[in-house]
Copies of this chain bind each other. A is one copy, B any other.
Amino acid sequence: MTDTTPRRRDAERTRAELLAVATEVFAASGYAGARVDDIADRTRTTKRMIYYYFGSKEKLYLAVLEHAYRGIRAAEHDLHPGDLPPLEAVRRLAELTYDHHLSHSDFIRLVSIENIHHGQYISRLGSLREINRDALGILDGVLARGREQGVIRDDVDALDVHLVISSYCFFQVANRHTFGHLFDRDLLDPALRDHHRRIIGDVVAAWLSAAPSVPGPAAS
């Protein structure tokens, strides 16, 4: 957060700046690793204000988490399936999700961090559940259409597809460092981006258009 507007006494702005910087710091260091002093020092205000606006480190983290989750629009929202052929729509969704994840690495890291803490904080943020609902609804509509047309297998539901796509995209960002070290491939190398994006598109398209491996719907 470098200086921008040098106004004095602007509650909204101070609060927003703290939240933005806290997001960066928590994402960079984890909850326990983040330092309240560090967050304060990176703003043009002081530690006192963190407690004035948020009350505690924990509540600040909760605010960061909620803000991050609300700020993320599921890639599904940018998908306008229109009358795209279902398979093309899903491929497009996969590739959108890929780009979406790559450009929101702080969010991805916060999710990792939250899982390290067994989801103990997000579990207090009940209102988030609804956000992803309609995103899944969009995907579900596409799959239904594909099944009707007989071009998409019937033993897979929207959540399964979402899981496969998210896993792949998430991994690229979340495990960049260990994977890069062990295999000498920087997953986020711009030169590989098209290759990696195409892969997840190919994967879901091939998967969904294949015949069910066992007759009849199996999803529970």
B-binding residues in A (CB < 8 A): 29-33, 109, 111-119, 122-123, 128-129, 131-132, 136, 156, 159-160, 163-164, 166-168, 170-172, 174-185, 187, 191-192, 195, 198-199, 201-203, 205-207, 209-210, 213-214, 218-220
Tell me whether A213 and B219 are in contact (CB under 8 A). Answer: no
- Nearest CB of B to A100, in Å: 16
Return the contact of A132 from the options B115, B122, B183 (Cβ within 8 A). B183
Q: Which of chain B's residues have a CB closer than 8 A to the CB of A166?
A: 171
Q: Can you tell how many copies of this chain the complex includes? A: 2
* CB <8 Å contact, A181 and B213: no
Determine the distance from Cα of A128 to Cα of B213 in the docked complex, in whole angstroms. Answer: 37
Complex: chain B residue closest to A158, CB-CB: B183
CA distance A176 to B170 in the complex (A): 13
Contact A218 B198, beta carbon cutoff 8 Å: yes
Q: Is the CB of A116 within 8 A of B113?
A: yes
Determine if B182 and A132 form an interchain contact, defined as CB atoms under 8 angstroms apart: yes
Q: A119, B180: Cβ atoms under 8 Å?
A: yes
Instruction: Report yes or no: A116 in contact with B122, Cβ–Cβ below 8 A.
Output: no
**Hey, which chain B residues are within 8 Å of A177, CB to CB?**
114-115, 118-119, 122-123
Whether A206 and B195, one on each chain, are in contact in the complex, defined by CB atoms closer than 8 angstroms, is no
19 pairs, A vs B, C-beta closer than 8 Å: A29-B32, A112-B116, A114-B178, A119-B176, A119-B177, A122-B182, A129-B182, A131-B182, A136-B183, A160-B199, A163-B171, A163-B187, A191-B220, A195-B218, A202-B213, A203-B203, A205-B213, A206-B210, A207-B207
Residues of B within 8 A of A29 (CB): 32, 116
Output the residue of A115, A166, A187 with the most chain B CB within 10 A: A115
Which residues in B have their C-beta under 8 angstroms from that of A195? Answer: 218-220
Interchain nearest-CB distance for A86 vs B (Å): 16
Q: How far is the CA of A218 from the CA of B122 in the complex (A)?
A: 41
With a cutoff of 8 Å between Cβ atoms, the chain B residues found around residue A178 in the complex are 111, 114-115, 119, 122
CB distance from A172 to the nearest CB of B (A): 8
Q: CA of A184 to CA of B129 in the docked complex: distance in angstroms?
A: 9
Q: How far is the CA of A201 from the CA of B210 in the complex (A)?
A: 12
